Each structure stands twice: as C-alpha cells, then as structure tokens.
C-alpha cells in the first residue's frame, strides 16, 4: 500500500530545555523486594485524581457490548427465579429424573483409570489430534464395514467439540472448495437450525448463508417439498448443512425414504453434504440406526464432511470432544485435504486438548467399556422416549386443543411444541416454565415429578392464549 509509507512519524530533533537538565539517575530495577524504586501506589490514576485531571480514555472506548447467547440468559433467569415449581425446559444438556446432570458411569470409571495411570505422557497432542480417538470416532459414525474405511479414503481431524469440527471444515471449504468461488459459495442451513451454524460459517468467511425450508409449522412436520425445491434451485456445488439425526431444534428427521429423495437431488445438483452429528445414539438409543443417513450418503458415493460431537452421547459437555470426518473419492484427495486442514488447525488452536479424546478413545477401543457405554446411552435415550410418551398422553387426556402426535414422532432431546411466542411468554412469566421463544423444549427437563405441572400449564397456555 503506497500510502502507508508516508505515515511514518517524523522524529523531532528539537532539543527542549527539559531534556538538557540532568535528572537524578535511579536504577529502576524491578525485583522481588520492590525496594521503593517502584511506581507510586495507585499509579497514574491516583496522580491524575489528585491533580484533578481527567483519566485517559481507553483506545477501545467505541467497542460495543456483544450480546450473550439466548440459552445462557434463559438459564440465568431460571436460576434467579425463586418459585419452587420452576422447570427449565431450555437448556441443551441431559438431566436425570431428579433434574441433575449425569456423569455416565463408564465415563467416571475411565476418568479414574486415566487419573491413576502414571505413565501418561502430557506432551502436546499431534496437531490433528489423538490418533486412537480419530480412528475410533470415525468408525462409530461410518460403521465398521464402511466401504470408505475399507478403501482407505477417509480422514479425520480432532476438533474442539462439534463447534470446532464445524469451524475447521468451514475454514477449509472457504479456502479450497468450489474453484475460485470459495467464500462466495452459498451455504444452506435448515430453517430453523442450531443458531451457531450461521455464526460459525460466517466467522469462517462465507458471505452468502441462506436457509432451506425444513419445518412446516402448519402440519408440524418436515416440509420435504420445500426442502427439495430449494435444493433444485440452489446453485451447483452449494454446501448444505444437514443434521444427521435428532434435528436441533425441531426433533423432526427425514424418514429413510425421504433421505433417499434428498440424496438423489443432491447428487444430481452436485451439492456438498456437510453433516452435523451431535446426537448419535441419543436419538433412538441405537448407534447404527442414528447413523443411517450419513452411511447412506457414503454408500451412494458422496464426498462429504461430518462434524461429530461427543458432548451429548458421552455427557462430556465441557471437555470439548469433537471429530471432523472427511470422506473423499480416494486416499490421495483425502491426504491433500488433511494436509491443508493441518495448516488451518496450526493457526487456530495448534494442538487440541487431550482429556476428552482420551476418555472417548479408551471407551470405544475396549469391548467391555464400549458395551457399557452403549447401555448408558440407551438409558438416556429411553428416558427421553418415556418423557415424550408421558407428555403426549397427558396432553391428550386433558383434551388440549390441537394434535400432539408430533411430540412422539419427533426424536432426540428437543421438541418443537408448536407453541406461539405469546404462549411461551405466558409459560415463562406466569408458570415459571422456561423454554425458548421458538417453542423448543428439552425433553430432559421433564421428570416424573413435574410432568403433570407442565402438561396442565401447556393446556392452560393453549386454551387461554390464541
């Protein structure tokens, strides 16, 4: 930039009177004893105050305050609420029937094993992550008999939770996908979707983020026609973010037949599938069933990314365990993709954290621990299925207007109740039941103790407020 060259400061060579005076030389060494040569107590601020001067202004005085995430605010409000009947249906984590977080027994066992293991080396993990974690995680998603694994055309990158995995995938695509279009490639996310999808792809540099039809509010189900139409109209090579199972926030998944239709349109239009798999095992209780969509696409010969998260199905929310799976046409392509991803990771976080990956790798590679984990996951999934059935039956027994079959048709942690914004407000303010303005509830917030209260409250909201 030529204009920058003129902005160098002009060094003033004028000698002022002040500089010619000899100031007392005191060696200003900072040492532990702080021998009085240090700055006056209170420093500049006290001096300024004493002299009645105004404080210097921050160079960041114009930086605005950013908004916190809605879900966190909801939880904060819930915590402050003194009402004993309060129910939190907004948070995105599993809760037991006692409304407590649940550390999976297998996880606790493995954690103790790891803590007791004196020979663990705490050096930096490789940039792409713990190798045993990456291979096992990919195997879980794609299946032991996956043709892609057999043909050696998959790769994986350990990420900081599902978010980190999505981000690395997005950063790669923004740099290297779609010829010269790169950042201008349209990225389609479902309407509605997990709010961070927009943020992650946008932060990665994509400039054209669009939504595709997904939730049909009138029939409270999947708007397949709208979705397929959007895919037909999308420019070729657009990126589509698909939820592998247990769609967040609607809980509505395409059936296998519907997935087949989606895949055939995407194949014909050369659209790129970027799966987000955060709930494998959590949705139906069966790992293979929940991975059906991803495996179908792989069998159909697609090249795709899949961002896995183990936050929910291992209950390891705060250890940030995620994996980005890359499926390519052949091993050479995957190798090159991974080399570029390594370069990206090097700049973003350099090396991922070890604990969560160690726990998952240890569990998945031992047959007994693996089967214990499968049971733990089924426990969580079964409780959710039970709560769904119970809520629906109560609403139907109360004769609440409207159809409630979607409560049990939907799958996974979340349900789009179909409640309007006003009805949600009523529930929060009058009944101290916290849920998102979209009407999304977390099934795990329901317990055998509060089911009746919640059912009657929903009944009231629907009948009182139209």
- Report the residue count for the chain: 466
3 binds other proteins per the rule CB under 8 A: no
Residues in region 87-116 near other proteins by CB under 8 A: 92-93, 101, 103, 107-108, 111-112, 114-116
227 binds other proteins per the rule CB under 8 A: no
| HEC letters along 130-191 | CHHHHHHHHHHHHCCCCHHHHCCCEEEEEEEHHHHHHHHHHHHHHHHCCCCCHHHCCEEEEE
Burial state string for 152-178 with b = 16 or more CB within 10 A and e = fewer than 16: ebbbbbbbbbbbbbbbbbbbbbbeebb
Give the DSSP H/E element, type plus range, for residue 325. strand 321-327
* Residue 150 annotated in active site: no
Given the residues 223, 253, 276, 290, the one annotated as active site:
276
Residues in region 31-50 near other proteins by CB under 8 A: 31-32, 34, 37-39, 41-46
Q: Tell me the closest approach of the beta carbon of residue 282 to other proteins, in angstroms.
A: 15
Which of 338, 265, 334, 252 is closest to 297 using CA atoms? Answer: 265
Joined tokens for residue 79: 């915590």
Q: Tell me the closest approach of the beta carbon of residue 459 to other proteins, in angstroms.
A: 32
**Cα of 58 vs its chain's centroid, Å:** 34
Q: Tell me the closest approach of the beta carbon of residue 210 to other proteins, in angstroms.
A: 18
Find tokens 């069966």 and name the residue.
286
Q: Tell me the closest approach of the beta carbon of residue 336 to other proteins, in angstroms.
A: 5
* Residue 276 annotated in active site: yes
Residues in region 391-430 near other proteins by CB under 8 A: none
* Binding span for other proteins by CB under 8 A among 78-86, 202-210, 360-368, 457-465: 202-210
Among 73, 85, 210, 329, binds other proteins (CB under 8 A): 329
* Residue 194 annotated in active site: yes
* Binding span for other proteins by CB under 8 A among 242-250, 341-349, 394-402, 409-417: 341-349
Please tell me the distance from the alpha carbon of residue 322 to that of residue 164, in angstroms, as a whole number: 7
Cβ neighbours of residue 328 closer than 8 Å, sequence gap 6 or more: 153, 154, 155, 303, 334, 337
Q: Tell me the closest approach of the beta carbon of residue 70 to other proteins, in angstroms.
A: 12
Among 217, 219, 270, 430, binds other proteins (CB under 8 A): 270
Q: Give the pairing type, strands 239-243 and 187-191.
A: parallel
List the x/- string, 284-323, binding to other proteins by CB under 8 A: ----------------xxxx-----------xxxxxx---
Residues in region 230-249 near other proteins by CB under 8 A: 237
The residues annotated as belonging to the active site are 194, 276, 312
């Amino acid at each position: 930039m030529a204009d920058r060259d003129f902005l160098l400061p002009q060094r003033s060579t004028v000698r002022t009177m002040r500089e010619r005076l000899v100031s007392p030389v005191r060696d200003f060494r900072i040492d532990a004893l702080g021998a009085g040569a240090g700055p006056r107590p209170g420093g500049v601020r006290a001096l300024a105050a004493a002299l009645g001067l105004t404080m210097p202004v921050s160079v960041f005085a114009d930086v605005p305050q950013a908004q916190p995430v809605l879900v966190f605010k909801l939880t904060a409000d819930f915590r402050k609420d003194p009402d004993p009947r309060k129910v939190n249906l907004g948070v995105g984590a599993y809760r037991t029937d006692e409304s407590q977080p649940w550390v999976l027994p297998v996880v606790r066992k493995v954690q103790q094993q790891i803590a007791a293991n004196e020979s663990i080396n705490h050096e930096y993990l490789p940039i792409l992550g713990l190798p045993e974690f990456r291979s096992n995680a990919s195997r879980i998603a794609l299946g032991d008999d996956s043709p892609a694994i057999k043909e050696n055309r998959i790769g994986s990158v350990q990420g900081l939770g599902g978010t980190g995995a999505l981000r690395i995938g997005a950063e790669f695509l923004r740099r290297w996908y779609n010829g010269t279009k790169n950042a201008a490639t349209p990225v389609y996310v479902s309407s509605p979707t997990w709010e961070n999808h927009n943020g992650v792809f946008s932060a990665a540099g994509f400039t054209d983020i669009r939504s595709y039809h997904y939730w049909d509010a009138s029939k409270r189900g999947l708007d397949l026609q709208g979705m397929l139409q959007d895919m037909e109209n999308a420019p070729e090579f657009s990126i589509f973010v698909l939820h592998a199972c247990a769609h967040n926030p609607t809980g509505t998944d395409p059936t296998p037949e519907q997935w087949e239709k989606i895949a055939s349109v995407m194949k014909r239009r050369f659209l790129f599938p970027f799966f987000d798999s955060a709930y494998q095992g959590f949705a139906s209780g069966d790992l293979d069933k929940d991975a059906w969509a991803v495996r179908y696409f792989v069998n159909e010969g697609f090249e795709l990314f899949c961002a896995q998260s183990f936050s929910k199905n291992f209950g390891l929310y705060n250890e940030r365990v995620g994996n980005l799976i890359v499926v390519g046409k052949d091993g050479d392509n995957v190798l090159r993709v991974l080399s570029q991803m390594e370069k990206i990771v090097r700049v973003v976080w350099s090396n991922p954290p070890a604990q969560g990956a160690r726990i998952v790798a240890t569990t998945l590679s031992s047959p007994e621990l693996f089967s214990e984990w499968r049971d733990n996951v089924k426990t969580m999934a079964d409780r959710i299925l039970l709560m769904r059935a119970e809520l629906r039956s109560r609403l139907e027994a109360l004769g609440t207007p409207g159809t409630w079959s979607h409560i049990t048709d939907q799958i996974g942690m979340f349900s789009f109740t179909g409640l309007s914004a006003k009805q949600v407000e009523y529930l929060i303010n009058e009944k101290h039941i916290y849920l998102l303005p979209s009407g999304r509830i977390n099934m795990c917030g329901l317990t055998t103790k509060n089911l009746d209260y919640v059912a009657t409250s929903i009944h009231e909201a629907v009948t009182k407020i139209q």
